Amino acid sequence: MTGEFRCVTFLSDFGLADETVACCKGLLLRRGVTLPVIDISHEVPPFDVISGGWMLAGAVLYMPSGIHLAIVDPGVGTQRRILLLRSGRGDLFVGPDNGLLIPAAERTGGISRCWSIERVQGEMEHVFPTFDARDIMAPVVADLVGGKPPEECGE
């Protein structure tokens, strides 16, 4: 599947004051991701899903087909779902089920498929309920880059 994607993008409200972004990007590298990882922004206002959604939507039109990891999540630590969307253009979007991914998916041809990602993912011995980006979402992105079909990541 790597051949159909040319980049991974990453957007979050994590900021750059700590190791959070580096942990996610390091995990991607550790899992063998060699595609360029393009940082759209990590300065989305905290928990501002609408701003994050429009930032992602504004950027994806200028990106080649890729896998887009987006995390702005007021529901972190809850049982909200994590989604994997395929757009009509063929891009894949990974993020929380809170509307964040919808504007970008619509701008790239609409949603053609949607999967709910299984919560048991990752390789770390310490999985925290408030770090789904590192423990669940980034490993799914790495699996997709490595060729795992989306339907094997969720239902």
The pTM assigned to this predicted structure is: 0.92
pLDDT level of residue 120 (50, 70, 90 thresholds):
low
Tens-digit pLDDT profile for residues 5-54: 999 999 999 999 999 999 999 999 999 999 999 999 999 999 999 999 99
Residue 74: pLDDT above 50? yes
Tens-digit pLDDT profile for residues 51-65: 999 999 999 999 999
Where in the sequence is the domain holding 140, given as residue range(s)? 2-152
What's the number of domains the chain is made of? 1
At 83, phi and psi to the nearest 5? -110, 155
Rounded Cα distance between 50 and 92, Å, is: 19
Q: Are 135 and 94 in contact (CB under 8 A)?
A: no
Closest by CA position to 109, among listed 93, 94, 85, 90: 90
CATH number at residue 12: 3.40.50.10790
